[in-house]
Amino acid sequence: MKFTVLMGSPRPEGNTAALLRPFLEECTRMGVETHCFRLNELSLSPCRGCMACQEVPDRLGCVQEDDLSKVFEAMKDCDVMVLATPIYSWYCTPAMKALMDRAIYAGNKYYGREKGASLLEGRRVATVVTCGYRPQEGADLWEQGLKRWCTHGKMEYMGMLCRRDLGRKVPFLDEEKEQAARDFAQAICLAVKTEELCAQEFI
Ligand SMILES: Cc1cc2nc3c(=O)[nH]c(=O)nc-3n(C[C@H](O)[C@H](O)[C@H](O)COP(=O)(O)O)c2cc1C
């Protein structure tokens, strides 16, 4: 089993990285091959909206020559895509948003002269999130948006693990969060093995 992890936090030692660590450890323990991309260390420019990709029916076809192609290949070649992000202004970080915009546009040929392929069709998507508000008010809009992103691209949304950052005076990672991250990894692996969607909520 292969997971492609898209890490959108600009802080390599931040809260999202801390929550992701036990998740990845559990994945490895369960025999999952994980491939992690730190989006802030890559060159991923925002979508220019030029629409050139829409006239290329069977591959990305983006005119920008940066790291999108290699990340997109890994998004296609996996059992689960894991989008890890802190919440910034009620959504994901700019690096994650740039990737999502370009992947959903160049990845779905809905707007050209002829309708083409959905290059990420059938991919499963899960998300690992940290935020300052309670998850219900901090990460709800992100989850809604991500669900629609999946529907638009014919992908399957599996679920969200979200934990709250209570500020600098409280250490972020504790036993409960570590266990929740391990449980989420197990639930995702099990869902892939049994070909079911992950019904549990992890917020
Ligand atoms: C620029 C910025 C914007 C943020 N916006 C929100 C927000 O809209 N809602 C929220 O719940 N938390 C917000 N937060 C809090 C972060 O989501 C939270 O501290 C998170 O755990 C940071 O993760 P990191 O250490 O991986 O960067 C924001 C933090 C920053 C720096």
Output the CA 132–ligand 1 centroid distance in Å.
6
CB of 140 closer than 6 angstroms to any ligand 1 atom: no
pLDDT score recorded for residue 202: 63
> Which residue ranges of the chain lie beneath pLDDT 50?
none
CB of 108 closer than 6 angstroms to any ligand 1 atom: no
pLDDT score recorded for residue 115: 86
Indicate which residue's Cα is closest to atom 5 of ligand 1: 88
pTM greater than 0.85: yes
pLDDT score recorded for residue 31: 96
Q: Which atom of ligand 1 is nearest to the CA of 131?
A: 17
Strands 33-38 and 80-86: unpaired
8 Å CB contact between 58 and 116: yes
Q: Which atom of ligand 1 is nearest to the CA of 11?
A: 27
For 130-169, the pLDDT digits (tens) are 999 999 999 999 999 999 999 999 999 999 999 999 999 9
CB of 168 closer than 6 angstroms to any ligand 1 atom: no
Write the DSSP string, 96-142: HHHHHHHHHHHTB--SSSS---BTTTT-EEEEEEEESS-HHHHTHHH
Output the CA 43–ligand 1 centroid distance in Å.
22
CB of 12 closer than 6 angstroms to any ligand 1 atom: no
Output the CA 175–ligand 1 centroid distance in Å.
21
Q: How far apart are CA 169 and CA 153, in angstroms?
A: 41
